[in-house]
Chains A and B, each alone.
Chain A
Amino acid sequence: DAKTTQPNSMESNEEEPVHLPCNHSTISGTDYIHWYRQLPSQGPEYVIHGLTSNVNNRMASLAIAEDRKSSTLILHRATLRDAAVYYCILRDSGGSNYKLTFGKGTLLTVNP
């Protein structure tokens, strides 16, 4: 599985935007970029995914670099409930089982 690199931790203030970076320099053409987050004492939660174009949904936006070697998850206005571990995962759409392989993720702290 292709690997991703994320900062161990980041800090933000409430109601400010948050940009969570992810590097994936060995991404292949069939890899989708997925983001999940895990709130304390809960299982991971799907946030967003994309292939080449930027994506928006009600939770967040995903900005993908033109060469696809990096991406950024954008939370437009952080709230205290956004404090979680955020995982950036590459998922091969050309494989046979499409499994998700998690790294350590980025621990996001949101200050009031």
Chain B
Amino acid sequence: EAGVAQSPRYKIIEKRQSVAFWCNPISGHATLYWYQQILGQGPKLLIQFQNNGVVDDSQLPKDRFSAERLKGVDSTLKIQPAKLEDSAVYLCASSLAPQGPGYTFGSGTRLTVV
């Protein structure tokens, strides 16, 4: 089966600019997650969707980050305006259901804010 697709693979922007990341989960996977991974740390959950509804966005900095999953399939994560500390890898994952058993992750988008 095809994996979780993410694009772009790399992105470099200046601070205060905006950026968007795209994720296409595995077909049929109802649950989708966005994680942020800063260099040297484990991934941190930003937002979890169940179909097109938000289940958990408690760690999403809502003043600058937004995410949507229209039609319950692919998803976009946006940052506007970006800060230097947003430099990280943004990972998308999906699972059949919230209880898993396992998530499938994409390869991520590496964002550098200069």
Contacts and interface: CB of A to CB of B under 8 A. Distances in A.
A98 B45 contact: no
Interface in A85-112: 85, 87, 91, 93, 96-105
Interface stretch (A15-23, A40-48, A60-68, A69-77): A40-48
Contact of B41 (A36, A91, A97, A104): A104
Measured as residues with beta carbon below 8 angstroms from the partner, the interface class of chain A is 20 to 34
A41 B102 contact: no
A93 B33 CA distance: 18
A100 B105 CA distance: 12
Nearest to B95: A98
Contacts of B43: 44, 102
A102 B55 contact: no
Nearest to B97: A98
Name, among B4, B44, B100, the residue most crowded by chain A CB atoms within 10 Å (CB to CB): B100
Interface residues of B, number: 25
B107 A41 contact: yes
Nearest to B9: A41
Interface in B88-114: 91, 93, 98-108
Interface of B: 4, 33, 35, 40-45, 48, 55-56, 91, 93, 98-108
Interface of A: 34, 36, 41-46, 49, 85, 87, 91, 93, 96-105
